[in-house]
Amino acid sequence: MTIKKIGVIGAGAMGGGIAHVAALKGFEVVLCDVEQRFVDGAIARAAALMDKNIAKQKMTEEEKQAVLQRITTTTNIEDFAAVDFVIEAIIEDLAIKQNTFERLDKICRPEVILASNTSSMSVTVIAAATSRPDKVVGMHFFNPAQVMRLVELIRGYSTSDETIKTVTEVAQTLGKVTVESKKDTPGFIVNRVLFAQFLEAIRMVEEGVATPQDIDTAVTLGLNYPMGPFQLMDSIGGIDLTVKIADYFYDETKDAKWNAPHTLKSLLRAGRLGKKTGAGWYNYDK
């Protein structure tokens, strides 16, 4: 099947960015969220990013308008009946994702692949809500989707080779490099490595080995990472998402190494969720 129209459900930072990338690469896009203000916000962010490129003479106004015209916004999931491929980018809540995929399964044509941008949750469980588990796959983009080159592809238990092939082709058309997680394990590749680093760094603080500031400095200068683990927890998703994913890892594996440390939970209880609330591991100007 030729894929010309991509449906993106969820117009937050990830979904809006994915829709923007798809439209930049020539796909028709249907961008859906529960309220019009969310999709309007995604369009405004895409337009502002393209305005910066116009100012740098990397894009023309005509090219910007052509990209925006390829994006149709909606609050009605039934509009996905016309799409050739779906990427879900909603909240990291397994029950909500299952409900969404159950609805998409009934709306979309039988041959349409349903991809989830989940960063950690079971593709197999999500696929079980559908009648097409062979056509359900993890397609994990990284934020910002317009910049980050990697897309993780995750096989659910029933994901077919044909589905992996098609999703790989779509990702490459979007200008991405793909890696494949052959097993549907919590965290897949990147977040399994990343959260091990997060939790070990927190335990080092709790043991009095070093401060968050010194650990971040050591990691950025010693490992040449763009930012340290505490800076990253504050920036990407926030403390609440970090706790939620760590808890998911523990619930799935019952391995104590994934148990969220007390200090991390204390930040959550204090409402220090990172940059988005003005304070996390560090204090920020709101």
List, in order, residues 6 or more apart from 17 with CB less than 8 Å away.
141, 143, 144, 145, 146
Catalytic residue among 116, 119, 120, 181: 119
Q: What is the distance of C-alpha 57 from the center of its chain?
A: 29
Q: Catalytic residue at 131?
A: no
Q: Catalytic residue at 140?
A: yes
Give the number of C-alpha atoms closer than 13 A to the C-alpha of residue 114, restricted to the C-beta side: 30
Catalytic residue among 116, 117, 181, 191: 191
Catalytic residue among 88, 120, 152, 181: 152
Q: Catalytic residue at 119?
A: yes
CA distance 264 to 283: 15
CA distance 9 to 29: 10
Give the number of C-alpha atoms closer than 13 A to the C-alpha of residue 162, restricted to the C-beta side: 7
Angle between helices 190-206 and 262-269 (to 10 degrees): 90
Catalytic residue among 116, 120, 140, 181: 140
Only one residue has tokens 């800076």, namely: 231
* 3-state SS, residue 169: helix
C-alpha angle with apex 156: 229 to 168, nearest 5 degrees?
80
Q: Catalytic residue at 191?
A: yes
145 neighbors 87 (Cβ within 8 angstroms) = no
In the structure encoding, which two tokens stand for residue 4, read together?
Answer: 């010309």
CA distance 134 to 156: 8
CA distances for 247 relative to 76, 83, 114, 120, angstroms: 32, 35, 26, 11
- Tell me the catalytic residues: 119, 140, 152, 191
